[in-house]
Homo-oligomer: A and B are copies of this chain.
Amino acid sequence: MPTIVDIHTHVYPPSYMTLLRTRTTVPYVRTFPDSPLSSRLIILPGEDDPSQPSTSRGRPIGPDYHDITRKIAFMDAHRIDKSVISLANPWLDFLAPEEAATAAREINDEVDGMCARFPGRLYAFGTLPLSASAEVVAAEVKRLRGLKYMRGVIMGTSGLGKGLDDAALDPVWAALEETGTLVFLHPHYGLPGDVYGPRAGEYGHVLPLALGFPVETTIAVTRMLLSGVWERFAKLQVLIAHSGGTLPFLAGRIESCIAHDGYLKGVGRAKQMRSVWDVLKKNVYLDAVVYSEVGLKAAVDASGADRLMFGTDHPFFPPLEEDEEEWLSVKTNYAAINTAFGGDDKTADDVLGGNAVRILKLD
Protein backbone atom coordinates (compact mmCIF):
# COMPACT_ATOMS: atom_id res chain seq x y z
CA MET A 1 0.00 0.00 0.00
CA PRO A 2 1.32 3.47 -0.84
CA THR A 3 1.77 6.08 1.84
CA ILE A 4 -1.02 8.62 1.46
CA VAL A 5 -0.33 12.23 2.40
CA ASP A 6 -2.88 15.04 2.46
CA ILE A 7 -1.13 18.37 1.93
CA HIS A 8 -4.28 20.48 1.57
CA THR A 9 -6.21 20.16 4.82
CA HIS A 10 -7.20 22.96 7.13
CA VAL A 11 -7.73 23.67 10.79
CA TYR A 12 -9.03 26.58 12.80
CA PRO A 13 -7.17 25.92 16.07
CA PRO A 14 -9.09 26.85 19.25
CA SER A 15 -7.33 30.20 19.72
CA TYR A 16 -8.30 31.20 16.17
CA MET A 17 -11.89 30.16 16.83
CA THR A 18 -11.87 32.39 19.91
CA LEU A 19 -10.62 35.23 17.74
CA LEU A 20 -13.40 34.68 15.18
CA ARG A 21 -16.04 34.52 17.94
CA THR A 22 -15.06 37.97 19.25
CA ARG A 23 -15.70 39.58 15.83
CA THR A 24 -18.93 40.91 14.32
CA THR A 25 -17.74 41.66 10.77
CA VAL A 26 -16.45 39.17 8.17
CA PRO A 27 -14.67 36.94 9.05
CA TYR A 28 -16.58 35.89 12.15
CA VAL A 29 -18.23 32.96 13.90
CA ARG A 30 -21.54 33.54 15.59
CA THR A 31 -24.42 31.73 17.21
CA PHE A 32 -27.69 33.24 16.02
CA PRO A 33 -30.82 33.48 18.25
CA ASP A 34 -32.95 31.53 15.75
CA SER A 35 -30.51 28.61 15.75
CA PRO A 36 -28.81 28.59 19.15
CA LEU A 37 -27.38 25.09 18.95
CA SER A 38 -25.13 25.59 15.94
CA SER A 39 -22.43 28.15 15.24
CA ARG A 40 -22.04 29.60 11.79
CA LEU A 41 -18.82 30.56 10.06
CA ILE A 42 -18.92 33.57 7.74
CA ILE A 43 -15.64 34.09 5.93
CA LEU A 44 -16.68 35.41 2.52
CA PRO A 45 -18.34 38.81 2.15
CA GLY A 46 -20.97 37.25 -0.12
CA GLU A 47 -21.97 34.88 2.68
CA ASP A 48 -22.98 37.70 5.02
CA ASP A 49 -26.36 38.86 3.82
CA PRO A 50 -28.35 40.34 6.72
CA SER A 51 -31.53 40.11 4.65
CA GLN A 52 -31.29 36.32 4.77
CA PRO A 53 -32.24 34.14 7.75
CA SER A 54 -29.17 33.47 9.87
CA THR A 55 -29.30 29.78 8.95
CA SER A 56 -28.42 30.61 5.37
CA ARG A 57 -25.58 32.93 6.30
CA GLY A 58 -22.19 31.28 5.86
CA ARG A 59 -22.07 27.63 6.82
CA PRO A 60 -22.46 25.56 9.96
CA ILE A 61 -19.16 25.13 11.77
CA GLY A 62 -18.57 22.14 13.99
CA PRO A 63 -15.72 20.28 15.66
CA ASP A 64 -14.27 19.19 12.29
CA TYR A 65 -12.91 22.73 12.07
CA HIS A 66 -11.06 22.87 15.39
CA ASP A 67 -10.93 19.48 17.10
CA ILE A 68 -7.73 17.79 15.92
CA THR A 69 -8.99 14.35 16.92
CA ARG A 70 -11.65 14.77 14.24
CA LYS A 71 -8.89 15.35 11.71
CA ILE A 72 -7.27 12.08 12.75
CA ALA A 73 -10.64 10.29 12.51
CA PHE A 74 -11.14 11.75 9.03
CA MET A 75 -7.66 10.58 8.03
CA ASP A 76 -8.37 7.09 9.34
CA ALA A 77 -11.69 6.91 7.50
CA HIS A 78 -9.98 7.90 4.24
CA ARG A 79 -6.75 5.85 4.52
CA ILE A 80 -4.63 9.01 4.90
CA ASP A 81 -1.35 8.30 6.68
CA LYS A 82 -0.05 11.83 7.12
CA SER A 83 -1.55 15.30 6.89
CA VAL A 84 0.14 18.65 6.55
CA ILE A 85 -2.38 20.92 8.25
CA SER A 86 -2.71 24.63 7.62
CA LEU A 87 -4.82 27.43 9.02
CA ALA A 88 -7.72 28.04 6.63
CA ASN A 89 -8.44 31.35 4.97
CA PRO A 90 -8.56 34.18 5.75
CA TRP A 91 -5.64 33.49 8.12
CA LEU A 92 -4.57 36.69 9.89
CA ASP A 93 -5.09 39.03 6.95
CA PHE A 94 -7.79 40.98 8.80
CA LEU A 95 -5.85 41.68 12.00
CA ALA A 96 -4.55 45.08 13.05
CA PRO A 97 -0.78 45.20 12.43
CA GLU A 98 0.08 45.35 16.14
CA GLU A 99 -1.93 42.19 16.88
CA ALA A 100 -0.69 40.11 13.97
CA ALA A 101 2.80 39.14 15.12
CA THR A 102 1.65 37.84 18.50
CA ALA A 103 -1.33 36.03 16.99
CA ALA A 104 0.90 34.34 14.41
CA ARG A 105 3.38 33.14 17.03
CA GLU A 106 0.63 31.83 19.27
CA ILE A 107 -1.20 30.03 16.49
CA ASN A 108 1.97 28.55 15.02
CA ASP A 109 3.06 27.27 18.43
CA GLU A 110 -0.42 25.88 19.04
CA VAL A 111 -0.53 24.11 15.66
CA ASP A 112 2.97 22.69 16.17
CA GLY A 113 1.71 21.38 19.51
CA MET A 114 -1.25 19.72 17.77
CA CYS A 115 1.18 17.91 15.48
CA ALA A 116 3.27 16.79 18.46
CA ARG A 117 0.25 14.94 19.85
CA PHE A 118 0.28 12.65 16.80
CA PRO A 119 3.92 12.17 15.87
CA GLY A 120 4.49 10.94 12.34
CA ARG A 121 0.89 11.68 11.36
CA LEU A 122 0.67 15.46 11.47
CA TYR A 123 2.87 18.21 10.05
CA ALA A 124 1.94 21.83 9.34
CA PHE A 125 2.28 24.91 7.22
CA GLY A 126 2.70 27.99 9.41
CA THR A 127 0.75 31.23 9.35
CA LEU A 128 2.30 34.64 8.68
CA PRO A 129 1.43 38.01 10.23
CA LEU A 130 0.96 39.66 6.84
CA SER A 131 -0.86 42.72 8.10
CA ALA A 132 2.34 43.66 9.95
CA SER A 133 5.51 44.74 8.13
CA ALA A 134 7.65 42.65 5.78
CA GLU A 135 10.34 42.55 8.45
CA VAL A 136 7.94 41.13 11.04
CA VAL A 137 6.80 38.54 8.51
CA ALA A 138 10.37 37.62 7.62
CA ALA A 139 11.19 37.21 11.32
CA GLU A 140 8.31 34.74 11.76
CA VAL A 141 9.46 32.81 8.67
CA LYS A 142 12.84 32.38 10.34
CA ARG A 143 11.37 31.55 13.75
CA LEU A 144 9.28 28.77 12.19
CA ARG A 145 12.48 26.87 11.38
CA GLY A 146 12.70 26.14 15.10
CA LEU A 147 9.30 24.46 15.25
CA LYS A 148 9.62 20.72 14.78
CA TYR A 149 6.60 19.97 12.59
CA MET A 150 6.53 23.03 10.35
CA ARG A 151 7.09 22.25 6.66
CA GLY A 152 6.33 25.61 5.04
CA VAL A 153 3.88 28.48 5.30
CA ILE A 154 0.42 29.14 3.92
CA MET A 155 -0.25 32.50 2.31
CA GLY A 156 -3.17 34.25 0.65
CA THR A 157 -3.01 36.49 -2.38
CA SER A 158 -3.16 39.88 -0.69
CA GLY A 159 0.44 39.97 0.51
CA LEU A 160 0.99 43.05 2.65
CA GLY A 161 -2.26 44.45 1.27
CA LYS A 162 -1.27 45.24 -2.30
CA GLY A 163 -0.96 41.76 -3.74
CA LEU A 164 1.95 39.42 -4.39
CA ASP A 165 3.54 41.72 -7.00
CA ASP A 166 4.23 44.33 -4.33
CA ALA A 167 7.97 45.10 -4.25
CA ALA A 168 7.65 45.63 -0.50
CA LEU A 169 7.32 41.86 -0.18
CA ASP A 170 10.89 41.28 -1.30
CA PRO A 171 12.24 40.80 2.25
CA VAL A 172 9.58 38.11 2.75
CA TRP A 173 10.47 36.29 -0.48
CA ALA A 174 14.13 36.61 0.48
CA ALA A 175 13.51 35.03 3.88
CA LEU A 176 11.44 32.24 2.33
CA GLU A 177 14.09 31.52 -0.28
CA GLU A 178 16.98 31.72 2.16
CA THR A 179 15.33 29.32 4.62
CA GLY A 180 14.10 27.01 1.85
CA THR A 181 10.54 27.47 3.11
CA LEU A 182 7.78 26.26 0.79
CA VAL A 183 4.86 28.68 0.32
CA PHE A 184 1.39 27.14 0.06
CA LEU A 185 -0.46 29.78 -1.98
CA HIS A 186 -4.20 29.68 -1.35
CA PRO A 187 -7.12 31.87 -2.44
CA HIS A 188 -9.65 33.62 -0.27
CA TYR A 189 -10.86 36.84 -1.84
CA GLY A 190 -12.33 35.54 -5.10
CA LEU A 191 -13.72 38.06 -7.60
CA PRO A 192 -16.10 40.99 -7.15
CA GLY A 193 -19.64 39.62 -6.83
CA ASP A 194 -21.04 41.53 -9.79
CA VAL A 195 -19.00 39.47 -12.28
CA TYR A 196 -21.43 36.62 -11.63
CA GLY A 197 -24.47 38.55 -12.86
CA PRO A 198 -27.88 39.32 -11.42
CA ARG A 199 -28.93 35.68 -10.92
CA ALA A 200 -25.88 34.59 -8.90
CA GLY A 201 -28.00 34.35 -5.74
CA GLU A 202 -29.84 31.42 -7.30
CA TYR A 203 -26.67 29.37 -7.65
CA GLY A 204 -25.61 29.01 -4.01
CA HIS A 205 -21.84 29.32 -3.55
CA VAL A 206 -20.98 27.64 -6.86
CA LEU A 207 -19.66 30.58 -8.88
CA PRO A 208 -17.39 32.15 -6.22
CA LEU A 209 -16.07 28.79 -5.03
CA ALA A 210 -15.74 26.99 -8.35
CA LEU A 211 -14.49 29.95 -10.41
CA GLY A 212 -13.63 32.89 -8.16
CA PHE A 213 -11.12 30.95 -6.06
CA PRO A 214 -9.02 29.43 -8.86
CA VAL A 215 -9.11 32.66 -10.87
CA GLU A 216 -7.90 34.69 -7.89
CA THR A 217 -4.99 32.28 -7.54
CA THR A 218 -4.16 32.44 -11.24
CA ILE A 219 -4.17 36.25 -11.27
CA ALA A 220 -1.91 36.32 -8.21
CA VAL A 221 0.66 33.94 -9.70
CA THR A 222 0.64 35.76 -13.03
CA ARG A 223 1.25 39.05 -11.23
CA MET A 224 4.23 37.44 -9.47
CA LEU A 225 5.57 36.38 -12.85
CA LEU A 226 5.01 39.76 -14.52
CA SER A 227 6.57 41.70 -11.66
CA GLY A 228 9.68 39.54 -11.74
CA VAL A 229 9.39 37.77 -8.39
CA TRP A 230 10.84 34.61 -9.93
CA GLU A 231 13.64 36.52 -11.62
CA ARG A 232 14.72 38.01 -8.29
CA PHE A 233 14.07 34.84 -6.25
CA ALA A 234 14.92 32.06 -8.64
CA LYS A 235 14.77 29.38 -5.93
CA LEU A 236 11.46 30.39 -4.36
CA GLN A 237 9.17 27.33 -4.14
CA VAL A 238 5.40 27.76 -4.23
CA LEU A 239 2.74 25.07 -3.87
CA ILE A 240 -0.32 26.40 -5.67
CA ALA A 241 -3.75 25.39 -4.38
CA HIS A 242 -6.36 23.66 -6.55
CA SER A 243 -3.80 22.40 -9.05
CA GLY A 244 -2.68 25.91 -9.84
CA GLY A 245 -6.10 27.55 -10.09
CA THR A 246 -6.20 27.60 -13.88
CA LEU A 247 -2.50 28.13 -14.51
CA PRO A 248 -1.68 24.84 -16.28
CA PHE A 249 -4.48 25.46 -18.79
CA LEU A 250 -3.83 29.18 -19.31
CA ALA A 251 -0.01 29.13 -19.24
CA GLY A 252 0.20 29.05 -23.03
CA ARG A 253 -2.10 32.02 -23.40
CA ILE A 254 -0.18 33.96 -20.74
CA GLU A 255 3.09 33.22 -22.53
CA SER A 256 1.61 34.26 -25.88
CA CYS A 257 0.09 37.48 -24.52
CA ILE A 258 3.46 38.44 -23.03
CA ALA A 259 5.25 37.72 -26.31
CA HIS A 260 2.73 39.85 -28.24
CA ASP A 261 2.51 42.79 -25.89
CA GLY A 262 3.85 45.94 -27.50
CA TYR A 263 4.11 47.76 -24.19
CA LEU A 264 6.18 45.03 -22.49
CA LYS A 265 8.43 44.87 -25.51
CA GLY A 266 8.81 48.65 -25.53
CA VAL A 267 9.92 48.82 -21.91
CA GLY A 268 12.28 45.87 -22.37
CA ARG A 269 10.41 43.56 -19.97
CA ALA A 270 9.16 40.91 -22.40
CA LYS A 271 12.57 39.30 -22.86
CA GLN A 272 13.68 39.60 -19.23
CA MET A 273 10.70 37.71 -17.92
CA ARG A 274 11.05 34.04 -17.13
CA SER A 275 8.92 31.68 -19.16
CA VAL A 276 5.83 30.57 -17.28
CA TRP A 277 6.64 27.00 -18.35
CA ASP A 278 10.07 27.24 -16.77
CA VAL A 279 8.56 28.54 -13.54
CA LEU A 280 5.95 25.76 -13.57
CA LYS A 281 8.67 23.12 -13.80
CA LYS A 282 11.22 24.64 -11.41
CA ASN A 283 9.39 26.77 -8.84
CA VAL A 284 5.85 25.46 -8.69
CA TYR A 285 4.28 22.48 -6.96
CA LEU A 286 0.60 21.69 -7.47
CA ASP A 287 -1.92 19.95 -5.27
CA ALA A 288 -4.19 17.32 -6.78
CA VAL A 289 -7.39 19.04 -5.67
CA VAL A 290 -8.99 19.52 -9.07
CA TYR A 291 -11.72 16.84 -9.02
CA SER A 292 -11.03 15.47 -12.50
CA GLU A 293 -8.75 13.35 -14.56
CA VAL A 294 -8.59 16.17 -17.14
CA GLY A 295 -7.27 18.66 -14.60
CA LEU A 296 -4.75 16.23 -13.09
CA LYS A 297 -3.29 15.34 -16.47
CA ALA A 298 -2.92 19.02 -17.36
CA ALA A 299 -1.24 19.64 -14.01
CA VAL A 300 1.25 16.83 -14.64
CA ASP A 301 1.83 17.96 -18.23
CA ALA A 302 2.58 21.46 -16.94
CA SER A 303 4.72 20.80 -13.86
CA GLY A 304 5.70 17.14 -13.97
CA ALA A 305 4.48 14.05 -12.11
CA ASP A 306 7.09 14.63 -9.42
CA ARG A 307 5.51 17.96 -8.39
CA LEU A 308 1.85 16.98 -7.85
CA MET A 309 0.58 16.13 -4.32
CA PHE A 310 -2.72 14.71 -3.09
CA GLY A 311 -5.03 16.87 -0.95
CA THR A 312 -8.59 16.93 0.36
CA ASP A 313 -9.48 20.51 1.35
CA HIS A 314 -10.94 19.04 4.57
CA PRO A 315 -13.04 20.20 6.47
CA PHE A 316 -14.57 22.07 3.55
CA PHE A 317 -16.86 20.30 1.07
CA PRO A 318 -18.35 17.86 3.61
CA PRO A 319 -20.94 15.39 2.28
CA LEU A 320 -24.50 16.69 2.10
CA GLU A 321 -25.87 13.37 3.33
CA GLU A 322 -25.11 12.87 7.02
CA ASP A 323 -24.57 9.13 6.85
CA GLU A 324 -21.76 9.20 4.26
CA GLU A 325 -18.63 7.91 5.90
CA GLU A 326 -16.38 8.52 2.93
CA TRP A 327 -16.57 12.06 1.71
CA LEU A 328 -17.68 12.54 -1.91
CA SER A 329 -15.09 15.32 -2.40
CA VAL A 330 -12.29 12.94 -1.34
CA LYS A 331 -13.64 10.02 -3.36
CA THR A 332 -13.76 12.26 -6.44
CA ASN A 333 -10.10 13.22 -6.07
CA TYR A 334 -9.03 9.62 -5.41
CA ALA A 335 -10.98 8.45 -8.45
CA ALA A 336 -9.40 11.15 -10.61
CA ILE A 337 -5.92 9.94 -9.61
CA ASN A 338 -6.86 6.34 -10.36
CA THR A 339 -8.29 7.22 -13.75
CA ALA A 340 -5.52 9.62 -14.76
CA PHE A 341 -2.62 7.41 -13.63
CA GLY A 342 -4.35 4.04 -13.33
CA GLY A 343 -1.94 2.17 -15.55
CA ASP A 344 1.08 3.72 -13.87
CA ASP A 345 1.41 2.68 -10.22
CA LYS A 346 4.60 4.67 -9.73
CA THR A 347 2.97 7.97 -10.72
CA ALA A 348 -0.20 7.28 -8.74
CA ASP A 349 1.84 6.42 -5.64
CA ASP A 350 4.03 9.50 -6.08
CA VAL A 351 0.98 11.75 -6.33
CA LEU A 352 -0.79 10.05 -3.42
CA GLY A 353 2.14 10.46 -1.06
CA GLY A 354 5.61 9.72 -2.38
CA ASN A 355 6.14 13.25 -3.67
CA ALA A 356 4.96 14.85 -0.44
CA VAL A 357 7.19 12.61 1.72
CA ARG A 358 10.21 13.52 -0.42
CA ILE A 359 9.48 17.23 -1.00
CA LEU A 360 8.35 18.02 2.55
CA LYS A 361 10.77 15.62 4.30
CA LEU A 362 8.06 13.76 6.21
CA ASP A 363 10.46 10.91 7.15
Contacts and interface: CB of A to CB of B under 8 A. Distances in A.
Interface in A55-72: 56, 59
Contacts of A328: 256, 259-260
Nearest to A261: B204
A95 interface: no
A20 B243 CA distance: 42
Interface string A143-169: 000000000000000000011011000
A329 B256 contact: yes
Chain A interface secondary structure, helix, strand, loop or mixed?
helix
User: How many copies altogether?
Assistant: 2
B199 A253 contact: no
Contacts of A195: 191-192, 219
Range class of the A interface residue count = 35 or more
Contacts of A264: 203-204, 206
A263 B227 contact: no
A227 B249 contact: no
Given A56-B263, A252-B332, A258 B222 contact: no
A295 B298 contact: yes
A262 B204 contact: yes
A198 B154 CA distance: 23
The 7 closest A-B pairs by CB, nearest first: A252-B292, A252-B291, A204-B263, A249-B249, A204-B261, A210-B257, A163-B197
